[in-house]
Copies of this chain bind each other. A is one copy, B any other.
């Protein structure tokens, strides 16, 4: 694709000549080129107690954005599908008093009104990256959207998907690299960290990394999180669980609160080396 074709495919997402970067404000947290933002929490909201306990631990480590799935996209319809609306409620209820923002995944455009009440960032999962119906509806609201790259999607396609949201008038889109499908089976997906500097050339939108889903195994998540910071990402979204072996979803990739705390302290040291402020 030539430079010209590109810009006509996603003019709003394309980096302009003036080099401007979009920064997105969530509570007191600024997400974008000058900062390194950590979003953390459990894969799924399992109960109010579980969420509260984990939220407090990640908040103590210095994190201001709480993640947690209320609606879970699962390969099989018989796997745990999330607490749904109840889970949404817990997220808001627990994050607010701690002064934390909330990010969680939306799968159905009909749920937008519920999400707008409880959530600060709406996440579109990898499986829905090209669910254009959903993207168009998210273009109509005025809340930040975290758009995850599909596991079989190119960066061109990721930007095309972002354009569907931007075209609707919603200018707050955050891109997220979360691993692509390759032949290597040592990790669940292959985290494509090159995508970060490449996207930074192509677009003004913030780019973050999800090392947990890419790895599918917690032992290498801290190393990947540091690499994400070093490669120039604007943040990470990472799974933390206080009892990984009992997690209802993806326990094998969740960090314990202790390991997470150590990771955060290293990220605080590393951020200034890449000219970013930790937040």
Name A residues whose Cβ lies closer than 8 Å to a Cβ of B: 8-10, 73-79, 107-110, 127-134, 150-157, 160-161, 163-164, 167, 180-187, 190-198, 201, 214-215, 219-220, 223-224, 226-232, 266, 269-270, 273-274
Contact = CB atoms under 8 A, between A and B. Distances in A.
Contact of A131 (B10, B131, B185): B131
Contacts of A269: 273
Nearest to A155: B186
20 contacts: A9-B76, A74-B132, A75-B160, A110-B133, A131-B134, A133-B134, A152-B181, A152-B183, A154-B183, A180-B184, A185-B185, A186-B194, A187-B194, A193-B193, A193-B224, A201-B219, A201-B220, A223-B230, A226-B274, A230-B230
Contact of A190 (B78, B79, B180, B219): B180
A152 B130 CA distance: 12
Contact of A77 (B129, B167, B187): B167
A114 to B, nearest CB: 14
A130 B130 CA distance: 10
A-B residue pairs, 3 tightest by C-beta? A152-B152, A230-B230, A127-B130
B219 A186 contact: no
Given A108-B133, A180-B183, A226-B230, 11 more contacts: A8-B76, A127-B129, A155-B184, A180-B182, A182-B192, A186-B194, A190-B194, A197-B219, A197-B223, A224-B231, A227-B228
A186 B132 contact: no
Given A76-B10, A163-B76, A198 B187 contact: yes
Q: Give the most central of A110, A232, A269: most B CB within 10 Å.
A: A232
Contacts of A156: 75, 186
A107 to B, nearest CB: 6
Contact of A184 (B74, B164, B192, B197): B192
Contacts of A181: 152, 181, 183
Nearest to A270: B273
Contacts of A108: 133
A93 to B, nearest CB: 25
